[in-house]
Amino acid sequence: MMDSIGLLTLITFSPLLGVLLLAFVPSNKAGTIKLIGVLVSFIPLILSFVMFSSFDSTINGMQFVEDFDWIQIPLADNAMIEFKYSLGVDGLSMPLVVLSAIVASMSAIAAVNMIKKRWKEYFILFFLMQVGLYGVFAAQNLFLFFIFFEITLITMFFLVGIWGLDKREDAAFTFLLYNGLGSAILLISFVVLLMSAGYYEGANGTTIFTTDIQTIIFNLNNSASPYELLGVGVSDAIKYGVFFALLVAFGIKVPLFPFHSWILKVHYQAPPPMSMILSGVLLKIGAYGLFRMNYGFFPEITETFSTLLIILGIINLFYGGILAFVQEDMKMVVVYSSISHVGIIILGLGAMNSFGFQGAVFQIVSHGLLASLFFYIVGVMYNRVHTTKFSELGGMAKTMPFTSGILLTGALASLGLPGMSGFISEFLTFLGLFENRPILAAISTLGVVLTTVYLLRSVLNVTYGPTAEKLTHVSDARSVEMIPMVVLVGFVILVGVYPAILSEPIQATLQLFLTRIGG
């Protein structure tokens, strides 16, 4: 069997190697634990680069497919239920796996300086969480997706609850409550999908119930699908119901207004390496779900409600942008900035054309890189001065020129300066919106000004001006601390200058998505 283990399985489960290694290390050997933590995190990163380079951009369907029988439950009446272990990536999920690996490995480096206790447990949980992270994007089966999804949720609950700031337990509880609610809705939706559209006819006329994503897509969008043969159909009420249930479930994760409250508390309390993961990739599961499931299962309903999506996007963009402007704490600015920036993803989805879709995927990647960069820098600052309040900061450029320079670069990227990834995503999204919805597009471009206003206010408050007392004796980032900054900014510039590196692999898949409207 060994030779049939695919690349995606290797990526997903390679972090378990770290768990295995850590089992043999005494918990007081901090150095060894951290070394294993960082090195093992690089295995999925390298493997994901291998996947990226052998990815075939001309194929619009799934690649690196792995499909194994897993659980089969025979039922009465010549029927059975099957859950397959099936993995695969297309142009939508492949970049997300790579992004996850980049952010996770940087988060591991960040943890070296920022996690101060119980390293062994920390890294074990961190590795388990990575399994969920890669798995959720690779899963081609709703059941499998759900399991990976839950793994990220539970591990994150502990990671925040044990290693966060002083109100960590409260934050972890809020996190679990909100996300638990989200997953409950998700679960109900999946069950409804399984019951209404999750079956096909197997050999000997057996009816096989499945949660295979492709089967469900086929059944929902094909009039000649097997359920017609069976004499049952999916009513519009179910379709709309599931669509909105999924919208809420993923909306909590994204998060969409008014479901955003949880990330305020969680981000503020979470240890910086976990904030990086959370905003960099975990929240992107929501955006991914909107594409893969809301749009994937119900392209026509999504199109019907595209105006709603655009308005939701604009609300997020403005709401987060305005609130980021009145914050008195750098960390809160970063959190509200996150809320604002995910609005662009929703706008791109709502644009319903190739520019918009491309813009949305670019924004997922771009914001993933930038949000983790911001949380990382805030963490580096916090490590030195134990505050993120503007009233106690200022003039950081004097004592920490490198870190300040990176922060300023990140801010410029985030407000959409050309040459960096943020520009490509915003430009493509807005351009896409302008094709059919010029008025809404023009309104949403105002978000660019709001972003500029709050980012400059906050970043200049921290870095420019007379040097604050707390910052007069601190030292700049050490070389280990510089690695995540340089790597993340490097990718931000790479995508900004040479966007084809991302647009080409995702192109075919997104075109396939678009043909589903009205098809």
Partner 1 sequence: MLENAWLVPLFPLISFVLLVAFGRQLKEGAAYVGIVSLLSSFIVALGILFERLGHDAENYIQNFNWLTIGDKTLTVGFEITPLNALMLFVVTLVSLMVHIYSKGYMHGDERFPVFYTYLSLFTFSMLSLVISPNLLQAFIFWELVGAASFLLIGFYYFKPSARSAAKKAFIVTRIGDLGLLIGISLLFWQVGTFEYAGVFEAVEQGLVEPGFITLTAILIFIGAIGKSGQFPLHTWLPDAMEGPTPVSALIHAATMVAAGVYLVARTFPLFEASETAMYVVATVGGFTAIFAASIGLVQNDIKRVLAYSTVSQLGYMMLALGSAGFIAGVFHLFTHAFFKALLFLTAGSVIHAVHTQNIKEMGGLGKEMKITRAVFLIGALAISGFPGLAGFFSKDLILMSVYESGHVTLFWMALIAAVMTAFYMFRLYFLVFSGKPRHNANVHESPKNMTIPMIILSLLAIFAGYIEFFGFGEWITNNGVIAEEVEGPKWIMYLSIIAAFGGIALAWLMYGRDNKVKTGEPRGLHKLLFNKYYIDELYSTVVVRPYTIFGYVLKFFDKYVIGGLVQLSVWFSKAIGKIGSRLQNGQVQAYGLITIIGLVLLLVSLTAGRLLG
* Shortest Å distance, C-beta 299 to partner 1: 16
Which is closer to partner 1, CB of 184 or CB of 480? 184
Q: Residue 180 or residue 202: which is nearer to partner 1 going by CB?
A: 180
Q: Per-residue x/- marks for partner 1, 268-307, CB under 8 A?
A: ----------------------------------------
Q: What is the rounded CA–CA span in Å between residue 519 and residue 516?
A: 5
In the complex, least distance from residue 404 CB atom to partner 1, rounded to whole angstroms = 9
Q: How far is the CB of 201 from partner 1 (least distance, A)?
A: 15
CA 55 to chain centre: 21
The span of 29-37, 280-288, 376-384, 430-438 binding partner 1 (CB under 8 A) equals 430-438
Which is closer to partner 1, CB of 103 or CB of 468? Answer: 468
Specify whether the backbone of 61 is left (phi greater than 0), alpha (psi in -120 to 50) or beta: beta
Q: Which of 194, 254, 361, 400 binds partner 1 (CB under 8 A)?
A: 194
Q: Within positions 374 to 413, which residues make up the interface with partner 1, using CB under 8 A?
A: 395, 397-398, 412
The tokens describing 449, both together, are 């000004």
Binding string, 143-182, against partner 1, x = CB under 8 A? x--xx--x---x--xx--x----------xxx-xxx-x--
Q: Which is nearer to partner 1, 10 or 385 (CB)?
A: 385
CA gap 250, 245 in Å, rounded: 9
* Token representation of residue 434: 């302008």
Give dist(CA 445, CA 428) in Å, integer: 12
Site residues for partner 1, 231-260, by CB under 8 A, read: 258, 260
Q: CB of 178 within 8 A of CB of 262?
A: yes
How far is residue 171's CA from residue 42's CA, in Å, rounded to a whole number?
Answer: 29
Measured between alpha carbons, how far is 78 from 267 in angstroms, rounded to an integer? 51
Of 14-22, 213-221, 229-237, 422-430, which part binds partner 1 (CB under 8 A)?
Answer: 422-430
Give, as ranges, the residues between 348 and 367 that touch partner 1 (CB under 8 A).
353-355, 358
Tokens (6 digits) for 420: 């960096």
CB 163 within 8 A of CB 274: yes
The mark string for 71-110 relative to partner 1 (x by CB under 8 A, - otherwise) is --x-xx--x-x-----------------------------
Q: Which CB sits closer to partner 1, 32 or 445?
A: 445
Pairing of strands 79-89, 207-210: parallel
DSSP 420: S
**Residues from 442 through 501 that contact partner 1 (CB under 8 A):** 442, 445-446, 448-449, 452-453, 456-457, 460, 463-467, 499-500
Contact of 34 with 21, CB cutoff 8 Å: no
Nearer to partner 1, 29 or 516 (CB): 516
Q: How many CB atoms lie within 10 A of CB 503?
A: 19
The Cα-based distances of 237 to 243, 304, 350 in angstroms read 10, 15, 22
Task: Tell the burial category of 163 from Cβ atoms under 10 Å away from its Cβ (0-12, 13-18, 19+).
Answer: buried
Nearer to partner 1 (CB atom), residue 101 or residue 125: 125
Among 20, 46, 195, 480, binds partner 1 (CB under 8 A): 195
Question: In angstroms, what is the C-alpha Rg of the chain?
Answer: 23
Query: Per-residue x/- marks for partner 1, 197-216, CB under 8 A?
Result: ------------x-------
Rounded to the nearest whole angstrom, what is the least distance from the CB of residue 1 to partner 1 in the complex? Answer: 25
Pull the structure tokens for residue 282.
């975990």
Q: Is the peptide bond before 258 cis (omega within 30 degrees of 0)?
A: yes
Using CB under 8 A as the binding rule, the residues of this chain from 310 to 339 that contact partner 1 are 319, 322-323, 325-327
